[in-house]
Amino acid sequence: MINPKEALHSGVLKNEQAGYLIAKRIIDMLGAAFGLLVLSPLLLLIALAIKLEDRKGPVLFSQIRIGKNGKPFRMYKFRSMVCDAESRLASLLASNEIEGAMFKMKDDPRVTRIGRFIRRTSLDEIPQFLNVLKGDMSLVGPRPPLPREVEQYTYYEKQRLLVTPGCTGLWQISGRNQLSFQEMVELDLRYIRQRSIRFDLTVIVKTAGMLLGSKDAY
């Protein structure tokens, strides 16, 4: 795994000032708590819809992801797939529609009806506010990858793990699934080099404007 001290000397991490990190954490805590409170009626409706479509399955889906400096954590989402989605993944890998260490499939047969809606509108991501409150994630940052994806990373690509992963980032507001894996990496490294409170707030505002749905989300 890449050494954060090496990254500081190489210029990848240009903004590690305590003031920025403290302000970012305060914004994360307030934003996540406010989001969960205001959206609580919508969250209940989504949970009910998931249960009505599949009474046996859980409402939330949790998965091990890789966070800052390679530390694993459990990330939460609304369940948008059938219950045995993970076991069916191997049979679908040949249909991957994105190059690099990621799996994306527009017409993934594992996605449920309600799942397609909450994915298109990114509502399935809202439970990650819990991860933000815990400190595993930030509101803005690189998306946290799966362990099997990180195993395929080059040293260069591992630099996206130098900061706390986020609920949204430059990838989401710059094309999302229309971009290649390498383009996503370059956007993440650009964010890491240029990040600031103003930059974070700009990403949050642009993300909010896309919540009504994006053709690039699936």
pLDDT in tens, 186-199: 999 999 999 999 99
Q: What is the pLDDT of residues 142-158, one digit of tens each?
A: 999 999 999 999 999 99
In the predicted structure, residue 9 carries a pLDDT above the cut 50: no
Check pLDDT > 70 for residue 102: no
Give the separation between CA 132 and CA 21, rounded to whole angstroms.
14
All residues at 6 or more sequence positions from 85 whose CB lies less than 8 Å from its CB, including other chains: 110
Structural contact between residues 117 and 124, judged by C-beta atoms closer than 8 angstroms:
no
Confidence tier at 110 by pLDDT (50, 70, 90):
confident
Q: State pTM to two decimals.
A: 0.82
Q: Could you give the CA distance from residue 89 to residue 212 in angstroms, rounded to a whole number? A: 29
What integer pLDDT is reported at residue 12 of this predicted model?
61
In the three-class reduction of DSSP (H, G, I as helix; E, B as strand; rest coil), residue 110 is classed as: coil
Q: Is the pLDDT of residue 103 over 90?
A: no
Does the pLDDT at position 15 exceed 60? Answer: no
Instruction: Return d(Cα 13, Cα 201) in angstroms, integer.
Output: 19
Q: Mean per-residue pLDDT for 26-37?
A: 97
